[in-house]
Every structure is written in structure tokens, then in C-alpha cells.
Structure 1
Amino acid sequence: MNKRLAKAAATLASGLALLAAGPPAASDTTRVRDLLRQSQDLLRAGQNEAAQPLLQQARDLARRGHFAAGEVESLRVLGKAELVHGSFAEARAYLTQAVALARRTSGQPGLADVLLTLGQVANEQDDYPGALRACEEALRLYHARGAVRDEARTRNGLGIIYSSRGDFPRALAMLLPALRQTQQLGDSALQANCLTNLGNVYFRHNDARQALHYFEQALPLVRHRPDQGALADCLTNLAAAHQQLGEFKQAEPFYQQAIAVSEQAGERAQLGVVLSDYAQLLTDQRRLPAAQATLERARALLENSGDVGTLAATLVALGQLHSKLGHAAEAEAQARRALALATSVQDWSVQESSGALLAGLLKRRGDYRQALQYTELAQAAHDTVFSQSKAEEMGRLQGDFQLSQERERAQGLARTGEAQQQRLQAQQRQLWGLGLGLGVVAAAGLALWRLNRLLGRKNQQIEAQRAELTELNATKDRLFSIIGHDLRGPLHSLHAFVELLAGPPLPPDKLAQYTQRLTRTLDHTLALLENLLNWAALQMRAAGPPRPEPLDLAALVEENIGLLAAAAEAAQVSVVHHLAGDEHAWADPAAARLVLRNLLANAIKFTPAGGTVEVSARREGAAWQLAVADTGRGLPEPTPWQELRPESLPRRAGEGGQARSTGLGLLLSRDVLARNGGRLWVASAGPGQGTTFTLSLPVAASVATSEAVG
């Protein structure tokens, strides 16, 4: 009883405190708004550090005064400040707090503005789905409120997100309506921004003529604005469009104007970017000394700007220019620094160009070994860029496919509903006209029941087809990934080796070394192709059904050890088995050979010279457990005996410089065993402790029957 009274007293005291606090005082709300206005003025002037204390003060004052709208806006502007400063994680933390506070506050004050800013941060973090979710919800809120300007601003932001991902149709679908809305509003600043973004979309889509059309419309609107940075960007865009069209004489004046505007505004980083672009025009015109001086100046401006990606690209351009001028040492120095910077920010495009430049310089110097290494690095970066673009394209295509499926399904359901409604009305008219009473109603009910059953069957067929299509699409993506990453590399190494043979004669020791390396690469490629074809046939259901029969496991093991004897001898690995000869399983011989060959080949590949691979078998109930154990490097972490999931295992390089594993052999083995009623297991004591793979096969039917009779 006392506890209840104490709880009631505490609740009453809390309520009285809230009543005493009351609504926020007018002076507090006015002070919060003044602080926000002052901090936003400072942010527009580029004084982020001076704005931060004012924003924190506004947030604290709004929280103490229970001024939720002011606290939401304070958090939003704090997030915006961190976004401008490049601190994306901190920006997202502030904005996430603002979203949560706005959602639980009556009227959800400022929610749309916060969501729009959160979408910008998510886009900068390459969180494409998160950016779209936030901006699309903001667009719905603005549209429901009739806030046309904010709706146009949000459409413009969505257009930028779609454009940055290369989704040309959706970008236009957002930007063109936004442009019409800004024209109706007479908002010249937002209209200029929409025109610039439309021009950038067409420029990225390699339609420089159409891009030029929009940039030219934006220029007079930007000239009347105090934002010199926007003017410099617009002038640079015009110059780049003329340059892409080959109109160098028209491009150069725009570059010079952009340089003058950036110098006047004191924007060192922006000036460095403009100079780097202008140097490319000078290079295209073969004005190499002027291009070199321009790039050197751009490099000096970008050194402390924080824009590592642009600095790396500028260094590559400078290295390429030095290479053309015959300054090999300087070209190599710039290329190496560019490669280091690009690697630190994972700029694969610059890694590719800097790696290719270093490979050419080293090859010219006669250092073919390092040239080959940088050639492979450049090709790997190229493959990554290619894979990323294909992944984005496949994602867009899959989204379009799912969207069209949903649209078709909705239309089909609507048509079915209309048809059912029409049938029901016709049946009701017949009931009234014929006066058959309950009998006709029962017949109509039976007809509807049969119709529903028919629709149910159709829906099941559609779902089965959709599941099959999704599975085939995933299989195709996996094939493309393996071909793009694991097959292109060895073939490129072969091409590089042939190029080396076409050059100056190689010393005998280097020739022997490269030949041995090429042989390993070709062996790996042939094994990969064999597994790839088998796995593709299995996934596409081109392979026939399993044909199990009694199988002598000892004979199977001896056969596969004999096939891999040469590989084991070359790797200096001993392969032995401990089967007695009375082990008989019930399995498809071809499938069992394929799985055992893959397990033995992997064990030999990952076992160092002097190691051992042992094959053993034990009976457990109605199954034989055939184990392949090695004394190799083991798994990175201790792994207890468990069913194999190939996708969770790390991809490792083999011993003695052998090629990195693709993981396809284990994936193929697991799928083949699953089709034959078997399972695959793995265990490892940890690094350097070896690995044991165990395949489970049913005991032969004749053996099991004789044991049951006996």
C-alpha cells in the first residue's frame, strides 16, 4: 500500500512540475530563433566554427523551454553544418535525433526539412536506398501541405541523387517538373540550380549539346546572384560542354572567366578544380608547357583543400604530361603519389590510370617484373569499376522489373475485381428478373467459389514463375561476378606475359620464373572453367537427374589420388588414405568424383611443402562420413565441426604463389551433394592447424539390407 501511495505522489509531483513549467516563454522562443538566424548567417559565410556554439546554445535553450520545434530546427542546422564540413557520421546522428523528436511531437514540426537534409547526407555516404526513402517521404509531406517551393526543392534533390547514380530517366522525371514549378514561382536561384542539374544529367549521359542548352539558360540567372561559387561552377560547366563538343575556342574564354571569378572570391579549392579542368583543354590543344604550369598551380592549391580525390586526379594528369614531355622520373613520382592518395580514399578510377601510367614507365625502363605488377593492379581497379557500374545497372534493372511486376499485379487485381463486380451485378439482375430465389443465389455462390479457386491457382503459378525468375537472375549475377573477377585476371596475366615475350629478350632465369607462373595461372584457369561449366549446368538444370548406384569408396579415393599425384608431387605434399575396401556408398559416381576431386585439390593447394593430406572414412548410422584432412594453414578462426557454408569462408591465396581461391569448387561440391542426398561439413582448429572437410553419403542399399536381415 505504501509503495502505491509513493508512486502516486511521485506522479502527482511530476504533473505539477510540468504545469509549473507551462508552455515555452515568448522570450525563450524568440531567443532560440535569433540564435538560429545568426548561426545560419555564419554558415552561409563559411564560418562553421563560429556557428557551432550558437547552435548548441539554441538547442539547449529550446530543450529547457520544451520548445520542440526550435530543438528540431537546431538539430537540423547542426546536421547541415556537419554535412558542409564533411563529417557525415556526426551529421547523420544529429538528423536522426531530429527525425525521432519531430515524429513524437504533435504536428511533426520541421520533419520534412529534416528528412530532406538527411537524404543529402545519406547520398554523400553512398546510402542510395536511405537517401531515396528520406527524400521521397519529404516530397509526400510537402505535397500534402501544398508547399510548392519546398516540393520543387525536394524534386531537385531527388534529381541530383538519381543523377549521381546514373539513373538518367528518373533524374529527368524529377528535374523537369521541378524546373516548371520554379518557373511558376519565379524563384531564380532555385531555377538556376535546376537548370544546372539538368545540364549535368545530360552531360553525364554524353549529350553535351543538350547540356549546353541548359547551362546557357542558367548563366544569366546565376550572374545576378551574389554567390560567386555558383557562377564559377556554371562557367566551368559551359567550358566543359564546349570542350566535349571539340569547340576549344569557345571553351577557353569560359575557363578564363571561371578562373577570374574563383580568384576574386578567394575560393582556393574551387580555383584548383577549375585550373585542373583547364589544363586538360590545354593538353588537348597540345600546349604542353602551359598545361604543365596550370597543373602545377592547381596541385599547389589543392594540397591543403581536403579534396583528396581531385588532388589525386590532378597528380595523375601531371604525371601523364611529364611522361609526354620525356620527364620519366618526375612522371613516376607524381604517379606513385597519386596511387597512394587514390588507394587511401578507394578512388578506383584514379588507381587504374595511375597504375597504367606506372606500368608504362617501368616497362619503358626495362623493369618488366614491376611493370607486370602495376599492370595487374590497374586491371584489378578497372574490374572493380566495371563491376560497380554493372552492379548499379543490375540494381536499377531489378528495381524497374519489380516495379513493373507490382504495377501489373495491381492492374490485374483491379481488372479481376471489376470483372467480379460486373458478374455480381449481372447475377443480381438475373435474380431479380427470374425470381429464382435462394437456388440462384446458391448457384452464383458456387460460381464465385470456383472462380476464386481458379484465381488462386493462377496466383500460385505466377508466384512460382516469379520465384524461378528470381533464382535464375541470382544465378546469372553470380556467373557474371565470377567471370568478371576471377576469369579476367588470369587471362590478363597471360596477355601481359605475351607482351613481355614480344619485347626485348628476357634473361633465362626470368623467363623460367614467368613461365612457371604462367603455368600455374593456366592450371588455375582450366580448373575454374571446369567448375564453372559444371556449376552452371547444375544451376540452369541442364544436368540430368542423379543416377545413384553402389559405389566403392576405396576405389574412388585411389582413383582421385592418382589423378592428382602430379599436383601433389609438385607441391611436395603427401596424400594417403586409410580406407579398408569394404566401404560402399549409394551415390552418383560422377557427382562423388567431382566433389572428392575438388576437396583433394583444395587440400593440396592450401598445404605447405612437406605437409600431409589424409583421407579416411567412418560409418555413422545409415551414412558414410568420408573425411579429407590436411595439415595446411587452416581457417582464420577455430571452427567446430559444422555444415559447410562456402559463402562464409574467406577467399585465400594458395601455397607457393598459387592463385587465390574463387570459392566456386566448394559451392559446386555442396550443391552437387545436396542433389544426391549428401551433405558437406567443415572443421578447423584455427590458423596453422589444418582443415578437415567431410562429405556424407548414404550407405549402399544392398549393404544396409544385408545388415538388416543379418
Structure 2
Amino acid sequence: MKLRHYSLLFCLIIFQTGFAQQQQVKQTIDSLLLADSQSGTEDKNQLERYVRLYKSYGKLGETEKVEAYVAKAMKLAEKLKLQSAIVSAYYSLGFYYQRHGSYIQAEEIYNKGIKKALEVGEKQLYADIYYNLGAMYASWSDYDKALSANMKAVAGYNELGNKLDAAGCYVNIAAAYNSLEQYKMAISYVELAMKVFEQSEGNEYGLALCNAYLGNNYFLADEKDLGIGKTEKLKMALKFMDVALSLANPLDDYSLLGTIYHTRAQILSVNGTTEQAMEAFHKAMEYNGHLYNKNEYAQDILALADFYIERAQYREVPPLLTEALKIGQENHFPALQRDAYLALSKSAEKQQQFTKALEYFKTYIQFRDQIFNEEKEREITRKRLKLDFLVKENDYKNQQHEMSLALQKRTLEARERKQQLELKEKEIRIEKLAFLQKQSLLEKEKLQKENELERQRLNANLDRKYRDEKILKEETKTRLNRNLAIFLGLLVLAISGAALMVYRAHRKTRQLNRLVSSQKVELEELGKVKDRILGMVSHDMRAPVNSLISFTKLLELGNLGEEKLKAYTFSLGQTLGHTSSMMENLLNWAYSQMQGFKPEIKVLDISSLVQELLGAAEGDTSHKNLRLSFSQDRHAQVIGDLNMLTLIIRNLLNNAIKFTPEGGSINIKIEHHLHQVRLYIADTGVGLDKVQLQRFNSPSIIELGRSTAGTNREKGTGLGLTLCKTFSAMMNAQLTATPNDNNGTIFILSMPCNVSSTKELKEFACNV
């Protein structure tokens, strides 16, 4: 099954062969000719070479060579009794003529191909030829024949069970009805095509195109024909365009996306959503700007210019229309130039620049007449072609379906309406031209009056100068008095400034005195802390050392049994573990008090660190039969020092285990709050009383806590929480504690988490 790219305007694919591609095609032709000269047998290989040769010459546009090798291929296929190859040759030759604008020759070859396809039963090529005929008839607006050809192609595809290609024909038929302004009929055929595309996978392009067709037809259709209101009609049109956009975005097809955004912009413009409409116009220009044919891009520019004119944003209009005129001149698009000058005239008229509006309107009329004459010549040529077709198709006309007759009637009605509209438009243009001429005369009169006013203004200025000279003489008398007043004012300001400087110096002295007093208090407190630490070390170190000496003496005597040895070893291990923990906290605290100490700030994975420390604490929690849980709203990273953060979390976790009785629970949770990450460690243990909580949450971090035994008589040093508070402050973090509803305490560690660059991280570390 193959899916074709269908077009709203029935445009044929234009193949362009660059210089490098031409060289490659010529090399292919040379190799094929060499192989053909060396082969002396007429077989399928030679037939395949002829086919490749006429297709290669077709890429180079060499008509005589194409015709010659098509004839050779047909003759050889006849000898080999390969009738399908003959039909395929007719199809290729007809398509070649069609691409190069030789429509009469193309139609003649296609008809021969259809006849041959019927003879040999080649149904696929039979339907494909009618498919191309439908596109060709549509290119010169002969929608009667285009619809008939597409219907026959549909019949052929349906007989083959090829529903996808039949759906493509439905889309082309819908485009014909759209051109005839029969939008309701167009919608019905698009819906038929959409049903087919929805039944199988991989048809995103077809579905996107169908939704774009539906949105376009709903937007253009009359509310009465659809049986709905204008608001609902625009809402449905916008809905279809949104679906088409969602399907087309992954395909990255610039032409399709440009068409969708152009129609979407027009719908939004009518619907009053200005910002969305402007965004859609720019998107359409972006995608259509990638296309080789700049006409669609220029149409986007004109539509955006009209959008700005309707909203009185006249400054945006001239650059757009200048670009449109440039594209029209470079690519010979007179219709584009015509529409651009009409838009310029409209913009100038709304700004009351009636002379410019008249000049632009005259240029617009010149292009309109030029295009009208060219269209008249093309209409004559089209009628001649139709006459030629009528001579050849008398038999076909007698067998034409009732649907074709009805369509002809609709076509005539549409043309009559179009002629009436053109007559009304001509009358309006004549009236507008007369109006612009009157406005131009009024503008001239206005300019004359402005010149007269300018003369009077100059005379008034001369009189004002004479009066100013008299006033200057009087002002010189008062200037000396004013200078004296200024001098006195400056003298007062100087005295005030001197007084202010004295006051500031006095205030600075008082601030320095307060700072010295506060530093004295801090030094006294630090001395007290150091005295406590020395007393604590002398007390806590004496017991484990004495225990160790006693244990060594018992070992020397050798009177210990195995059970007593184990008991003493276990007790000594606990004592030494407590002593080691005390020494580690003591050394860390002393290190933090050293002058010039700076934490090593970097981005840390707090989620992984917490999980690692929880794993290390599983033995202690299982020993006391504690329930340990961990949760987080998402993976978290913070900014801080790894060693400090590890010590804080480990101390808080050990305290929770220490003061939680057997069977209790410890809950650890990580949450994000704006630019912070918060770590909650909640236990159901003994908890801190109000005085302890108040002391812990106070700004001071110098005072040492009082060590208390755990629920299983675990020993402590009193340094842990003080060290946690100290390190938190050094990392620009905050550590607080609150009572737990289920007894116990919740410790909350809040740390910064958002740094967008390495430079910001360095600045953060410097601030710390």
C-alpha cells in the first residue's frame, strides 16, 4: 500500500535536477548504453535497461530520447508478451508530458494507456492513470473532468481493495468542491477519506491533511449550510486545525505545516485572539520560507500585513509589503504584486494619506488589468483545449454520469455568482477611485492652509524675540541678587555637611564599641566552652583508659574464662566506640573553630547520601527493633560540604536511634520547597523539652549541650548537636527542631539547591 502526498491546490510535483544530479544521471545513461551495446539478446534485462533509459532521459528533459526509448520498450515488451510493461510505458510517457505542460499529448497517451490496461487487465495502472488525469484536469480548472477521472480512479482502487489510494482520490475530489465553493460537499468527501486513514496505522500525513481540509472548509463555509452558529463553526475549525498540527509536527513537512499555520492564523484572526493569530502567522512564514516556491510565503506576508492594517498597527505594514513586492518581482508573480499594492493603498487610506493611497491604487489597477488580460488569454487557450477534448470525447460525453451534470450546474451557478461579485467589486473600485481623488484635493487644500499657518507662526516668533530682549535686560538686574542668594545657600549647605560628617563619625565610633563588646562576650563564651571540653575530655578519657589497663592486667594473669573474656571484650569495645565517637566530634569541632577554615562547597546528591547512611545504621536499628522508613518527593541535590553534611546526618540519625525506645519508629523524608531541599528526621523517642528546643533553635551555636544516656544507656558527649548547628551555619543551611505529634522530635535541615552554572556555584562558595 502506498500513501501519496495530496495537495489542496492539485499542484504537480516539480522535479529539479541540479548540476551534480545531472552528471550522475548522465553517468547512469552512459553505463546503460554501454551495457546495451555489449548485449546481443532481447530479454527482460534489455527491457529493464530501456525503462531505466527513458526514465533517466526524462529527468534531463530530453523529449526525443524519452519517446524513442519508450517506443523501443513497447516493441520489446510486445515481443516478450509483457503487456504490463506496455501499460507502464504509457503511464510514464503520459506523466512526462504532463510534467512539462504538454497536456493534449499527455491526455492522448493516458487514454491509450487506459485502453491497454483494460485489455490486459492491469487494474492498478488503470486507476493510477485516472488519478493523474484528475490532477491534470484540475490544473486548468476543468473540475467536471477532474471529478469524473477521480471517480473512475476510486472505482479501480476499490475493486483492488486499495483503500488508501481511494482515500487520496476522495481528498482530491474534496479539493475540487472547495475550489467551486461547495464546502459542504468537500467536507463529506474529506470525512470519507479520514475514515479510511483511521482504519490503519502509519497514515499520519493523510490524517493531518484531512484535518487541515476540514478546518479550512469549516472556516470558509456558510453557517446556514452547516446548520450551526458562527462561534461554533470557528470553534470546530480551530479544533480540526489543532488536531492537524499535532499530527503534522512529527512529520516535519514544511509545506503541510505552513498550510496548517496559515489557515489557523486566519481563524484566530477572525476569532479575536490577536497574540495567538500573530504567532500562527509567523510560524506559517517560518515553514513556508523553507519552500522553493516563495508564493505561499508571500501569501503569509500579505495575510499578516492585512492583520496589522485591521488593528491599526501601520508601522509594521511597509516592511512586509516591500518584501512581498520584491518576491513578486523576482519570481514574476503579478497577482502577488497586485494584492500588495492594494494593501498599501488600504493602509495609506486608513492613515488619511490619500495622495499615496491614490498612487498605490492606480498601480493596483495596472496590475489587475494586466492579470485580467493574461487570464483572458489563458481562458481562450483553455477553451481551445476544451474544444479539442470535446472532439475526442463525444462518446464519453454521452455516457457521463448524472453527478457530472449536477456538478456542471453547480459550476455555472458558482461562475454566475463570481461574475456578479466581480461587477459589484468593479463598481466599488470606481466609487473608491472617485473618493480617493476627492480626498487628494482635500489634502492639497489642507497643505495650503498649513503653509499659511506656518507664515503666521514665523511672524509671531519675530515679535516674541523683540519682547524677549526687553525681558533679558530686566533679568540682568535681578541676576546679581540671585547669585548672592545662591552663595548664602551654598554656605549653609557646607556647614550642614560638616555637621553631618561629625555626626556620622560619632555614630561609627559607637558601632565599633558595640562590636568590640560583642566580640568580648563571644571570646568569654568560647573560653568557657574550651574549659568544659577539657574537663569533659579529662573525665571521659580516664574511664576507658583505666578499663583498658585493667583488662590488660587480667589478660596477663590469664585467669579469665571464655565467657568473661567475651563480656569484658564487648564492654571494652562499647567504651572505646563511645570514646572514638567523642574524639571524632571533638576534633571536628576544633577544626571548625580554626581561623581561615572554609568548607568545600559543591553540588551533592543528598538522596544517595541519606540512603547510604541508612544502610550503615540498619544494624543499630535492628538491634533495638526500630522501624526505619525513607521517602522523597523526587531525587534531590543540594549545595554544601560532603564531610560536613555526612557528619550532620549521621549525628542526627544516631541521636534518633539513641533516644528512641525499642519498637519505636524513625521516619526520614526529603521534600523540595522553592529553592531549598528540606531533610526531615522524625523519631518517636524521648524528645527535647521546651527549654531544650528554645536553646537549640536560638541563633547561638557556641553553647555545648548536656549529654544524656540513651534508652539502652548509650553514652554521648554533648558535642553532636552543637557540631551539627555549627556546620549547618557554615554551609549557609539552617537546622531547627520541633516536637513530634507522636512523641519525640523532628529535626529539619534546610539547604539551598538551585545553582544554574559553575560561576554561580563559585560565587556561592565565596559567600559562604
TM-score, with length taken from structure 2 = 0.35
Q: TM-score, normalised by structure 1?
A: 0.37
Highest RCO, 1 vs 2 (Cα 8 Å, sep ≥ 6)? 2
